[in-house]
A and B are shown apart, each in its own frame.
Chain A
Amino acid sequence: MPDHLDDLAAALPQPRLDALRAELARRAAASDLLDVAYRTLETELGTLLLAATPAGLVSVTFDGDDPSATLERLAVALSPRVLEAPARLDAAAQGLERLIGGAARGFDGALDLSLAHGFGRQVIEQLQQIPYGQTRSYAEVAEAVGSPRAVRAVGTACRKNPLPIAIPCHRVVRSDGNLGQYAGGPEAKRILLGVEGSAA
């Protein structure tokens, strides 16, 4: 009987489940229960995964095609109250699209830096000072944050930048002119620098 009952029970079609989930995200936001909203975004650089807290955009990663690992990390680091809520991220998505397409020179939405700690946070804040269309070497950034010998640590901090594109870690390149590493891959870095007119 259990199997038969289960077979007979009303099945929930996928579109209906999707609609219920969208409504849940809307009500969760209205009740201040949406701690981490996320959406994916197709771009020239690949499929991005964007996440936001009520304070602002908190994470941009290049794994939108397979976001589960990042979502699990965000659930642990920020809050397990994670829901897909594209509408909450529409403005941020447009801001990033404008940056990638060269229609904007800076990200004008709110940013939440709570995923960057300690030295990494210092470096990230320094990166925000590099003007559009210019680059700095890892050594120059290390010097700027007052730790001229911490060149490698600056490299690590750039790679771990929780908000690439919005915070321009792509503007940090190697002193020898080599582009250096990038979370989104070297091609993504080349595209972003090319859009800014500062391609190596």
Chain B
Amino acid sequence: MTRAPFDSIVAQHGARVWRVCRALLGEHDADDAWSETFLAALEAYPRLAAGSNVEGWLVTIAHRKAIDVLRRSTRLRVGEVPDRPAPDASVPGRSRDLDLARALARLPQRQRETVVLHHLGGLPFAEVAAAVGGSADAARRASSDGVRRLRELLGGVDA
């Protein structure tokens, strides 16, 4: 079994991992989580079982790293509610990104994580459940509640 050079893994999955990080974090923190994700993946890569779903593996790491960054920055920014990180509302432009980030930030943490992991990260609910805890059914319900809420917040995004 040949193992692809790690560089090609970064090229192939870098954008998706960043989307996952960005959906859970502000812009600057997303960069940090992206780096932490690929650094951790680089360390573990030679031991990754052959035939593994590399993208799912990376998305799972990205989720963990994003939560770590979230905890760190929450400790730093006194008074911020843990499950509602403030997206960088000060950054002008890219209004659609910002809309989604703002709307996601208003979801309860569990809904936000399940929506991001399933819809942006492409993980099946069994793997979403493994990442956030609880059953696959519970993860599916949280995600679907989250999507419903997002639709209200974004106003007019069709299913």
- State whether B157 touches A8 (Cβ < 8 A): yes
Kindly name the residue among A9, A23, A24 whose own CB sees the greatest number of chain B CB atoms within 10 A.
A9
Chain B residue total in the interface (Cβ 8 A): 40
Residues A9-67 near B (CB distance < 8 A): 9-12, 17, 20-21, 23-24, 27-28, 31, 33, 36, 38
Residue of B nearest to A80 (CB): B3
The dominant DSSP class at the A interface is helix
Question: Which residues of chain B are within 8 angstroms of A68 by Cβ–Cβ distance?
Answer: 8
B159 near A1 (CB under 8 angstroms)?
yes
Alpha-carbon separation in the docked complex, A10 to B100 (Å): 8
B88-142 contacts to A, CB under 8 A, are 94, 96-97, 99-101, 115, 119-120
Q: Specify the main secondary structure of chain B where it touches its partner.
A: helix
Which chain A residues lie closer than 8 Å to B8 at the CB level? 68, 71
B3 A83 Cβ-Cβ under 8 A: no
Question: How many residues does chain A have at the interface if contact means C-beta atoms less than 8 Å apart?
Answer: 33
Could you tell me if B120 and A5 are in contact, using CB atoms closer than 8 angstroms?
yes
A: which residues have CB within 8 A of B? 1-2, 4-6, 8-12, 17, 20-21, 23-24, 27-28, 31, 33, 36, 38, 68, 71-72, 74-76, 79-84
B residues near A (Cβ < 8 Å) are: 2-8, 10-11, 14-15, 18-19, 22-23, 31, 34-35, 38-39, 42-43, 45-46, 94, 96-97, 99-101, 115, 119-120, 147, 150-151, 154, 157-159
